[in-house]
Structure 1
């Protein structure tokens, strides 16, 4: 493995370990088929434009490539229209529908290998990417992930 790949992998692992939300559990997710995960971000006041610029530059292209490869079936971004008072305030929600549970939470599996390969292809300068992603994560006050499932009205 080239040194650049090792550097990128270590940088991404360091970033993900330092800023990751608690692990997502698929305990209540469907046993087979698509898994939907909502990623909530509360961004430091006044830093939303910078957060979105870095997200769109560095993370969104990886998600789009993973969608092209079939690991992800849908990506949706939403921001609240009104300010929320009290409770769990969030500034942006990214909903991703993964093709299966392994794609959603399979740490160290084939999805992670594919994502690393995409990242290396899109961002050959892993050090620059790691620095920009560290900056993006420094703008986050709080981040949490929620696996959701449909609820029948019956």
Structure 2
């Protein structure tokens, strides 16, 4: 008997909680900017950037044409820094929504279209990743200064 009462109370609470959840307005995701940093093996930054521009940038451009990516910006430092804090290449991407920023499969439809020779594409991407010593992504936000 106690189990039936407990299950009934649990069912009512779940139903009430679901009803409240279903009535909430859908969350609108704002654009999100992510800085992607790459630390490359010494002497190989140019090779990495060449491969990135050949095999990854066109995919991002397709996402920008589609409207999923708002902006793409690439940078490299002019001067060197200490080994522990150095990075060789930074890409700043602004995505239309947070969901799009973290859905790594959004480029998949364009891979075969842009790179029909998938074996060569995969080999070059493998080479690009072998050049990376470290990689980190930092979601950033603008801070109003007024």
TM-score range, shorter chain: 0.7 to 0.9
- Give aligned pairs, total: 119
TM-score, normalization by structure 2? 0.76
* Partner SS state of residue 56, structure 2: helix
Runs (5+) with no aligned partner, structure 2: 1-27
> Residue in 2 aligned with 1:91?
88
The higher radius of gyration belongs to: 2
Q: Distance in 1 between matches of 2:97 and 2:128?
A: 28
* 2:139 aligned partner: 147
Identify the match of residue 59 of structure 2 among 38, 50, 62.
Answer: 62
SS at match of 1:61: helix
Higher relative contact order (CA 8 A, sep 6+): 1
Q: Deviations over 1:67-117 (max 9, x none)?
A: 00101000000111111125421011100000001110135xxxx2x4111
Q: Which runs of 5+ in 1 are unaligned?
A: 1-30
Residue equivalent to 2:123: 131
Normalised to the residue count of structure 1, the TM-score between the two structures is 0.72
Q: Aligned residue for 2:102?
A: 105
Counterpart in 2 of 1:32? 29
Which 4+ residue blocks in structure 1 deviate beyond 4 angstroms? none
